[in-house]
């Protein structure tokens, strides 16, 4: 086997996997904190990419300023979404809340289509386009920076959850809402906070994804690969989501190349789901999830 090709495929896979991992992380964060699943997360990612695109390409802001502004706008938007869409339903059955997030997903999709139309745009990628050579391994700078930035981001989040007061508060609320109330934690604020953080992570993922593909109203489907990543890693496990995302990215890239000759093209599209099916047969609660898990 040509190991350089293998390395190349793995690196590209890791870059895609980073995006899946970030989206998966944003799903898990909301699931852990509020005990409900927000199916609008891929659409929130898409919205982040579109807003960034508009600020930089249409209003000609410098990329970094545009990015920071995007984050601010996304923080406000996700906070509003949580307060207006989900909060009135707190205390209702989980299924009702899940349904309303699916509704929210369609609303965002429609909004994106209405505002920006349905054609693809090229994202003003901040990364230089000339690829980097490691020996004979070629990697695009967008992919390389995606991997590096994701790694940094994940470390920052790990430290945040482990040591900061807000992080510990969030984990406590995630584990037991009633007990959190009794500690004097403002649970509503924590819920909104988890939506905001998840929205920011998703928007960052959108920025990366858009810089090695395009901005188009179908990019939410790419982010849906985060779902097999979550199931693979275990729905309530943060590091599971990350490892699941990376694994799926790498596996679909490798499978797409090595298995294409035997199984036909398009194998990379379904790899993630096949792997999840296999894992579910052996460990129904995912690789890292806790055994008692609610069904969505």
Partner 1 sequence: MLKLKNLEAVYNDIILVLRGISLEVPKGSIVAFLGANGAGKSTTLKAISGLLEYEDGEITNGAIEFDGVEIHKKQPQDIVRLGITQVPEGRRVFAELTVEENLRVGSHTQQKNTNLRQEMERVLNYFPRLRERLKMQAGFLSGGEQQMLAIGRALMAKPKLMMLDEPSLGLAPMLVTEIFDIIKKINTEENVSILLVEQNALMALGTADYGYILENGKIVLDGPCNELITNEDVKEFYLGTGEGHDRRNFAEVKHYKRRKRWLS
CB of 194 to partner 1, least distance (A): 16
In this complex, which beta carbon is closest to partner 1, that of residue 171 or of residue 283?
Answer: 171
E strand segments, 147-258: none
Strand partners for 139: 132
CB of 192 to partner 1, least distance (A): 14
Q: At what angle do helices 3-34 and 226-233 cross, to 10 degrees?
A: 80
CB 242 within 8 A of CB 84: no
In this complex, which beta carbon is closest to partner 1, that of residue 65 or of residue 95?
Answer: 95
Q: How far apart are CA 251 and CA 228, in angstroms?
A: 12
In this complex, which beta carbon is closest to partner 1, that of residue 32 or of residue 225?
Answer: 32
Q: For residue 121, what is the DSSP state? A: B
CB 39 within 8 A of CB 81: no
CB of 180 to partner 1, least distance (A): 8
What region does 290 belong to: left with phi over 0, alpha with psi -120 to 50, or beta? beta
Q: How far apart are CA 241 and CA 234, in angstroms?
A: 7
Q: How far apart are CA 116 and CA 120, in angstroms?
A: 9
Contacting positions for partner 1 (CB under 8 A) = 90-91, 165, 168-169, 171-172, 175-187
CB of 28 to partner 1, least distance (A): 14
In this complex, which beta carbon is closest to partner 1, that of residue 129 or of residue 178?
Answer: 178
CB 101 within 8 A of CB 44: no
Cβ neighbours around 196 below 10 Å, total: 19
Residues sharing a CB contact under 8 Å with residue 34, sequence separation 6 or more, in sequence order: 86, 191, 194, 195
In this complex, which beta carbon is closest to partner 1, that of residue 6 or of residue 161?
Answer: 161
CB of 40 to partner 1, least distance (A): 24
In this complex, which beta carbon is closest to partner 1, that of residue 188 or of residue 218?
Answer: 188
Strands 132-134 and 137-139: antiparallel
Q: How far apart are CA 234 and CA 292, in angstroms?
A: 11
CB of 176 to partner 1, least distance (A): 5
In this complex, which beta carbon is closest to partner 1, that of residue 175 or of residue 294?
Answer: 175
Tokens 């109330």: give the residue: 181
In this complex, which beta carbon is closest to partner 1, that of residue 179 or of residue 263?
Answer: 179
CB of 216 to partner 1, least distance (A): 40
CB of 91 to partner 1, least distance (A): 6
């Amino acid at each position: 086997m040509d190991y350089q090709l293998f390395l190349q495929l793995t690196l590209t896979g890791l870059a895609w996997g980073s995006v899946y991992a970030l989206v998966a992380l944003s799903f898990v964060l909301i699931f852990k904190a509020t005990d409900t699943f927000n199916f609008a997360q891929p659409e929130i990612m898409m919205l982040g990419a579109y807003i960034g695109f508009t600020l930089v390409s249409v209003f000609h802001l410098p990329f970094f300023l545009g990015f920071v502004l995007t984050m601010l706008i996304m923080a406000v938007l996700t906070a509003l979404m949580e307060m207006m869409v989900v909060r009135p339903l707190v205390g209702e059955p989980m299924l009702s809340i899940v349904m309303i997030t699916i509704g929210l997903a369609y609303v965002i999709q429609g909004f994106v289509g209405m505002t920006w139309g349905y054609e693809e745009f090229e994202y003003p990628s901040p990364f230089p386009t000339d690829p980097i050579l490691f020996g004979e391994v070629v990697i695009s700078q967008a992919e390389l920076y995606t991997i590096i930035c994701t790694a940094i981001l994940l470390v920052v989040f790990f430290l945040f959850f482990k040591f900061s007061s807000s992080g510990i508060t969030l984990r406590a609320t995630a584990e037991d809402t009633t007990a959190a109330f009794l500690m004097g934690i403002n649970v509503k604020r924590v819920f909104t906070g988890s939506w905001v953080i998840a929205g920011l992570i998703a928007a960052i993922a959108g920025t990366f994804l858009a810089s090695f593909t395009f901005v188009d109203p179908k990019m939410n489907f790419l982010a849906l690969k985060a779902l097999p990543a979550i199931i693979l890693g275990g729905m309530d496990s943060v590091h599971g989501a990350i490892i699941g995302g990376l694994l799926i990215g790498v596996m679909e890239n490798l499978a797409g190349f090595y298995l294409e000759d035997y199984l036909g093209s398009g194998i990379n599209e379904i790899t993630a789901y096949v792997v999840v099916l296999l894992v579910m047969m052996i460990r129904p609660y995912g690789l890292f999830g806790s055994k008692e898990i609610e069904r969505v």
